[in-house]
Amino acid sequence: MPPGRSRRTSPVSSEFGLIRLLEAQTRHPDRQVYKGIGDDTAILKTSSTEWTLITTDLLAEAVHFDPATSSFEDIGYRAAIANLSDIAAMGGTPRFMLVAIAIPPTCSTAQIQRLYRGMMEAAAPYQVSLVGGDTSASKQGLFLSITLTGVVQPSQALLRSGARVGDRLYVTGTLGDSQAGLDLLRSRRRPALRPAHARFLLARHHRPSARIAEGQWLVKQRLAGAAIDLSDGLTGDLRHICEESAVGAEIIADALPLSPACRAYAAARRLDARQIALQGGEDYELLFTVPRGKQARFERLAGKTGFHFTCIGSITAKRLGLRLRTGTDTTQPLPVTSYEHFLRPS
Min dist. Cβ of residue 160 to its own copies (A) = 14
- DSSP label of 32: T
Whole-number Å distance between alpha carbons of 306 and 90: 20
What Cα–Cα distance (Å) separates residue 156 from each residue in 13, 50, 72, 137, 337?
A: 32, 10, 36, 41, 32
Min dist. Cβ of residue 120 to its own copies (A) = 4
* Residue 236 amino acid letter: G
Whole-number Å distance between alpha carbons of 56 and 97: 10
Nearer Cβ to its own copies, position 27 or 186?
27
Min dist. Cβ of residue 137 to its own copies (A) = 4
Nearer Cβ to its own copies, position 114 or 308?
114
Q: What is the DSSP string of 224-241?
A: -SBEEE-SS-HHHHHHHH
Whole-number Å distance between alpha carbons of 281 and 234: 7
Q: Are residues 255 and 181 in contact, defined by beta-carbon separation less than 8 angstroms?
A: no
Q: Are residues 118 and 72 in contact, defined by beta-carbon separation less than 8 angstroms?
A: yes
Whole-number Å distance between alpha carbons of 319 and 299: 29
Nearer Cβ to its own copies, position 196 or 343?
343
Min dist. Cβ of residue 234 to its own copies (A) = 21
Nearer Cβ to its own copies, position 96 or 307?
96
Q: Report the chain's terminal Cα–Cα distance, integer Å.
A: 23
Min dist. Cβ of residue 280 to its own copies (A) = 19
Nearer Cβ to its own copies, position 74 or 340?
340
Nearer Cβ to its own copies, position 12 or 317?
12
Min dist. Cβ of residue 27 to its own copies (A) = 6
Nearer Cβ to its own copies, position 5 or 294?
5
Min dist. Cβ of residue 232 to its own copies (A) = 12
Q: What is the DSSP string of 81-147?
A: HHHHHHHHHTT-EEEEEEEEEEE-TT--HHHHHHHHHHHHHHHGGGT-EEEEEEEEE-SSS-EEEEE
Min dist. Cβ of residue 341 to its own copies (A) = 8
Nearer Cβ to its own copies, position 142 or 273?
142
Name the strand (E) or helix (H) holding 332. Answer: strand 331-333
Tell me which residue of 56, 129, 126 sits closest to 96, measured CA to CA. Answer: 129
Nearer Cβ to its own copies, position 107 or 261?
107
Whole-number Å distance between alpha carbons of 48 and 278: 40
Min dist. Cβ of residue 188 to its own copies (A) = 21
Q: Alpha-carbon Rg of the chain, whole angstroms?
A: 20
